[in-house]
């Protein structure tokens, strides 16, 4: 069976094989240490017209399947799920436990909207009522932390047309953005 390496992992592998500017080029060859990239990207948008919070969470399919399989102790196939309702439940439960949003100090209840595959990533979508424009957005994000100690979680939050971004590196879980 031919193993296809996602582009981001291939690029990372190639950059690890090249000497850095600080390394002498005459040094004896040593095996390259490959450090896979473990990242999620979450978009949070306050929709003032609809008075809700719209959330899209992007996780690489292979990492997400591996995490869900370990958690639920059975094979999880996000590309061709055998039971779509069960897969929806697993994704919703997983993300809700690891991605918590507070608007002006009050936790919002995330409603699962669905998920879709986009090339080598899974987008999961959530929404929550948010009638007022928040001044402070607090996020707890530990997505994939149980499996990867090199996990990086990026978050882009838009409120009132202003977009702010932050990142959390394992083991950091909490971020605060003021608008």
In a domain, residue 150? The reply is: yes
pLDDT tens per residue, range 126-150: 999 999 999 999 999 999 999 999 9
Q: pLDDT means per 10 residues in the chain (179 residues)? A: 41 37 40 68 97 98 96 96 97 98 98 97 98 97 95 98 98 98
Element (H, E) at 57: strand 52-60
Task: Give residue 37's pLDDT.
Answer: 82
Q: How many CB atoms lie within 10 A of CB 91?
A: 24
Domain that includes residue 94, residue range? 38-178
In a domain, residue 140? The reply is: yes
99-103 and 136-141 beta bridge pairing: antiparallel
Task: Give residue 56's pLDDT.
Answer: 98
- Rounded to an integer, what distance in angstroms lies between the CA atom of residue 8 and that of residue 6? 6
In a domain, residue 12? The reply is: no
Task: Evaluate whether 64 touches 123 at the Cβ level (below 8 Å).
Answer: no
The residue whose two tokens read 């003021």 is: 178
Task: Give residue 77's pLDDT.
Answer: 97
In a domain, residue 108? The reply is: yes
Helices 61-72 and 84-98: crossing angle in degrees, nearest 10, is 90
Model pTM score: 0.79
Task: Give residue 111's pLDDT.
Answer: 98
Instruction: Give the chain's domain count.
Output: 1
């Amino acid at each position: 069976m031919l193993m296809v390496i996602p582009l981001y992992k291939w690029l990372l592998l190639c950059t690890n094989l090249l000497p850095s500017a600080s390394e002498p080029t005459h040094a004896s060859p040593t095996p390259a240490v490959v450090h896979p990239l473990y990242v999620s990207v979450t978009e949070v948008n306050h929709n003032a017209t609809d008075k809700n919070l719209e959330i899209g969470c992007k996780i690489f399919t292979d990492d997400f399947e591996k995490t869900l399989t370990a958690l639920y102790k059975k094979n999880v196939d996000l590309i061709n799920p055998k039971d779509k309702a069960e897969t929806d439940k697993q994704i919703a439960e997983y993300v809700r436990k690891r991605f918590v949003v507070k608007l002006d100090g009050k936790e919002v209840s995330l409603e699962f909207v669905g998920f879709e595959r986009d090339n080598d990533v899974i987008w999961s979508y959530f929404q929550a009522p948010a009638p007022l424009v928040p001044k402070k957005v607090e996020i707890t994000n530990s997505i994939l932390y149980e499996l990867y100690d090199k996990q990086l979680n990026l978050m882009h939050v838009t409120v009132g047309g202003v977009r702010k971004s932050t990142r959390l590196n394992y083991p950091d879980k909490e971020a605060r953005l003021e608008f």
